[in-house]
Amino acid sequence: MLSVMPQAAHLPLHIQQGPSKDVTFNELGNFRDAVEPFVTLLSRSGPSVRLHCTVPTMCSADSCIDLHDLQALRARSLVFVHELVEALRASGIAASYRLQPSSCPLCVICALPPNIDANRVKTAAAAAVKDAHLELKERALLARLEDGLALVLT
């Protein structure tokens, strides 16, 4: 049985084509703890999944974090993505991923089912974390978007 920690942060989500919606971030714990619950959730979505992963490569002026912290997050997120793909493939789910450099100081992993428009989910995930000032470090947060799931690594 999958249990997700009850602590949630409600943040506004603004998508250009429609009214604003609230996105709830549920904390899955640290990076190591987040792989299994995320794989379990993705296994319900179908036999294959595409992952779109933003990799923090630099900071914008308004969201800059320490460069050492940025490098550590980038390293952790790349290791996490590879562990997630291995776990998905081991559970029988055909998984592929795409890495995209980002100026956001967070790593965002969007799970894209094959029949969903990737740009729509990526836009929703980017909007969900754009103005989020998440002070947690080394945590994994799950966001349920209208068209899919997103995992935010801090």
- Per-residue pLDDT at 151 exceeds 90: no
CB-neighbour burial class of residue 53 (10 A; exposed 0-12, middle 13-18, buried 19+):
buried
Which pLDDT does position 55 carry in this prediction? 87
pLDDT in tens, 58-102: 766 555 567 888 888 889 999 999 999 999 999 999 999 989 888
Show Cβ contacts of residue 153 under 8 Å, excluding neighbours closer than 6 positions. Answer: 31, 73, 76, 77, 80, 106, 107, 108, 109, 139, 140, 141
Using only C-alpha atoms, the chain has a radius of gyration, in whole angstroms, of 15
Domain ranges of the chain: 8-153
- Per-residue pLDDT at 12 exceeds 50: no
Among 5-9, 32-36, 38-42, 111-115, where is mean pLDDT lowest?
5-9
Q: What is the 3-state secondary structure (H, E, C) of 47-86?
A: CEEEEEEEEECCCCCCCCCCHHHHHHHHHHHHHHHHHHHH
pLDDT band at 131 (very low <50, low <70, confident <90, very high): low
When pLDDT is averaged across residues 133-141 and rounded to a whole number, the result is: 74
pLDDT band at 25 (very low <50, low <70, confident <90, very high): confident
- In this prediction the pTM is 0.74
When pLDDT is averaged across residues 106-115 and rounded to a whole number, the result is: 80
Please report how many Cα atoms fall inside a 13 Å half-sphere around the Cα of residue 35, on the Cβ side: 17
Among 21-35, 58-72, 80-94, 120-134, where is mean pLDDT lowest?
120-134
Per-residue burial over 8-43, b = 16 or more CB atoms within 10 Å of its CB, e = otherwise: eeebebebeeeeeeebebbbbeebeebbebbbebbe
